Structure 1
Amino acid sequence: MLIDDVTFIPLQAPIPSGKAYGMSKSLATARATTLVRLKLANGIEGVGECWGMPQVNIAMLPLLKSYLVGTNVHDIEHAFASMLARHYHFGVQGPMTWSISGIDMAAKDAAGKLLGLPVHRLIGGKQSATVQIYASGGYLTENSARDFEPQIEAMAKAGHRAVKIKIGVSPDNDEDRVSIARRILGPDVEIMVDINSNYTLDLARESITRLAPYKIGWVEEPLAPQDLAGYELLQRWSPVPIATGEALYTAFDFKRLIDRRAVDVVQPDLSLCGGFWQGKQIAQLASMEHIRLSPHVWGTGVGLAAAVHFVASLPVYPHASNIPRPTLVEYDLGDNPLRDAILVNPLGQSGGAIVVPDEPGLGITIDWNAVERHVVR
């Protein structure tokens, strides 16, 4: 049960020239992440995924290994707590927490394989055999006027019943994009929008006023993550639910937001917020304040598998047999070889749902030959 080694593998998949896509603040020219490989003394291996710049994560690894090698895999959360306590000058926002996140995923994967149990059984039990997804697309591109409608048409053709699109260029442009999406998708598809923190409070209000008639499911990251007072004012005013959290770290960050009830939907990213270790605490905080949760996912198939296990383990409280709106997992539609191609058995969605794996650990198998093709040298 002792951890024998931890390695980080930097991955990058360039996006072809002219095909960059992304958000209101920038477009992505590559998809990059850090794959974690954690090995136990008996040879069992677990995998995880870290957000952030791979080079920075790799620089953190010697410090982290000094706490982890020789630690019982079931005791790893105590090692994480020691890291945050002793190195408090680093803060929780940044590479130490990114790295902890991926290592925790890998540790839970290894522990599940050791015990013959899926991760969802280790972190709360299996509440559901499937999890519902929303399709995340409608990206801004180098030529959004040309590319937007085909993205939405593809969503409609695929039959997605809940989708998220990128906005945040301007309130005028927001309404144009949402009106197009509503026309193509029809009246019954739930549409969420993502501003990626590009607005101030006044601009967010102007945009939401324009979008409310289109029956928007939530407005994501309308403000900068540091603007807690702005979120509190916006949530009190907005006729549309407010969602945020992908740029928040550990339960400490989320507690400040949740205590003020400045949000309607919290969105922890397990590859960034502290893995399952912190994800469980964030979910408990949200549950105690009766706030919805929907994990952010924008990485590899490893992070997607982690989010599926996480959501499958969450109680449906305060609901019972009637669940008005299920907890949704983000399912990225962007061109991303790191999501499916590095897995032997990728978690595909069907009918708006993903079947929760019951195999030990995360229930995924890495194609190491495919991984090798994307390693950054």
Structure 2
Amino acid sequence: MTDSTFLDFTSAAETSDANERHFSALRRGEASTDRIASVRISAATLPLKGAISDAKVLTGRQKPLRDVAFLFAEIRTEAGLEGVGFSYSKRAGGAGQFAHAREVAPELIGEDPSDIQRIWTKLVWAGASVGRSGLAVQAVAAFDIALWDLKAKRAGLPLAKLLGAHRDSVACYNTSGGFLSSSIEEVIENAQATAASGIGGVKIKVGQPDTKLDLRRVAAVKEAIGDRIDLMVDANQQWNRSTAVRMGRAFEEFDLTWIEEPLDAYDAEGHADLARELATPIATGEMLTSVAEHAELIRHRGADFIQPDAPRVGGITPFLKIMALGEAAHLRMAPHYVMELHLHLAAAYEHDPWVEHFDWLEPLFNERLETEGGRMLVPARPGIGVSLSDQARAWTTATEVFGA
């Protein structure tokens, strides 16, 4: 071996060592220099204007809803970047979400905020003894959403654009004016106002013990709005299989866009049978709390419209996996609630989605979403495009800060 050959060999070895050190650093999560410096979590209670009821209340399974508990996460990096995320709970569970968030929040300090999938897995496994679905991942959702908000802000893009949007607006429908706690006169008035407001559809609640009342309610609303906007109904899981078939057939004359939650949320086989039996599309999925549960629903072909809820399934990271499953199965999507977040996710979904218009959350944020021609417009603001209002701070019941 000549000296020059030896020198070349040594140079190659040194280069290999340098590369190994470089890739080892990447494996340790050191691809960027920024790190999470602090995490602030807050619990807040959003009061509703009045108690509202759906079929679960009329069948005695739940009490009227009077407020919504929120968990907010504000993540700040050493470079001064900030992301805001949130989760929520109705009737029960809000205190539990905050308590779980307190336990796992310290795991975020020092992490590279871009490593969102790895951080999600780390946080879920930190609390794995209480499960990897339900309340445990709903607490993690607030952190995950904040990290995605931060990532989109760093890129200077709305979240929809960061994910790869298919559209700049999404068809939207209103739900907040169709509860069973409202008289039929009020529901009709709300539906007509919706039709005049630039929203593309209205959903009303059904599932009453007396099914004849449901038929009258739907017929009255359909007569009032005609074909100006779409009409959906939601039974909130209160029918058995035979009632669902009977009601579904009775509703076919009204040309509904979908029948939502006709059966128990976990009855994937029943929903699949119903989807094959009826001409009207079936929508369900809002009560499922993991990717695995949605995968089972999709595997059975239990819905024409899947309705995942990002805070309920653990954040944007698992929601994107559900989207991929839904797209592969050529299903449509109508995410549940939280339009401020789901607008971005729906805009990035391939198959012609809907987003649910609820104005309940507006007092929590400084910004407002716009509707036009039956569609909700994706905002141009970076990230999710919302910031916490003074009112959200005033409704805060507990706060804790971790890190600097």
* Class of the TM-score when normalised by the shorter of the 2 chains: 0.7 to 0.9
1:46 aligned residue (83, 86, 90): 83
Give how far 1:61 is off.
Answer: 1.6
Q: The residue matched to 1:113 in structure 2 has which SS?
A: helix
Distance in 1 between residues matched to 2:193 and 2:213, nearest whole Å: 21
From 48, 54, 64, the counterpart of 1:23: 54
Matches of 2:184 and 2:366, distance apart in 1: 37
What's the offset of the Cα at 1:351?
2.6
Deviates more, 1:241-250 or 1:25-34: 25-34
Does residue 168 (structure 1) correspond to residue 199 (structure 2)? The answer is: no
CA deviation digits over 1:158-199, x for unaligned, max 9?
354311111111421221111011011013421111111111
**What's the % identity of the aligned pairs?**
26
Q: Does 1:64 align with 2:101?
A: no
Structure-to-structure mapping, 1:282-361, within 5 angstroms = 282-297=322-337, 303-316=338-351, 326-333=352-359, 336=360, 339-361=361-383
Match of 1:362 in 2: 384
Normalised TM-score (structure 1)? 0.87
Shift of 1:89: 4.0
- Provide, for residues 318-369 of structure 1, a one-character-per-residue CA deviation record: whole Å limited to 9, x for no partner: xxxxxxxx31111025xx2xx22232221132332222123321122332x2
Identify which of 246, 252, 260 aligns with 1:212: 252
Residues 237 and 261 of structure 2 are in contact (CA less than 8 Å); yes or no, is this contact kept in structure 1? yes
Structure 1: runs of 5+ lacking an equivalent: 298-302, 317-325
Alignment correspondent of 1:129: 168
The TM-score with structure 2 as length reference comes to: 0.82
Query: C-alpha distance in 2, partners of 1:177/1:327?
Result: 26
Equivalenced residue count is 355
Correspondence 1:144 to 2:183: yes
Gap runs ≥5 in structure 2: 1-33, 58-63, 399-404
d(CA) in 1 for partners of 2:275, 2:349: 25
Distance 1:286 1:111 in 2: 25
Alpha-carbon contact 2:54-2:236 (below 8 Å) kept: yes
Q: Distance in 2 between matches of 1:354 and 1:250?
A: 27
- Measured after TM superposition, the shift of residue 371 of structure 1 is 1.5
Tell me how far 1:86 sits from its aligned partner. Answer: 5.9
Q: Matches of 2:362 and 2:105 in 1, distance apart?
A: 29
Q: Partner letter of residue 341 of structure 1?
A: P
Q: Quick one: which of 281, 285, 289 aligns to 1:241?
A: 281
Secondary structure at the residue paired with 1:284?
A: helix
Q: Does 1:177 align with 2:217?
A: yes
Contact kept in structure 1, 2:138 and 2:312, CA below 8 Å: yes
Contact preservation (8 Å) 1:5, 1:65 = no
Q: What residue is the counterpart of 2:239 in the other structure?
A: 199
Q: Residues 76-129 of structure 1, C-alpha deviation per residue, up to 9 Å, x if partnerless? A: 211222344564442333211111222111111112222323222332x13212
Secondary structure class of the residue paired with 2:37: strand
Counterpart for residue 94 of structure 1:
134
Judge conservation of contact 2:133–2:314 (CA < 8 Å) in 1: no
What's the offset of the Cα at 1:145?
Answer: 4.6
Post-superposition offset of 1:308: 1.4
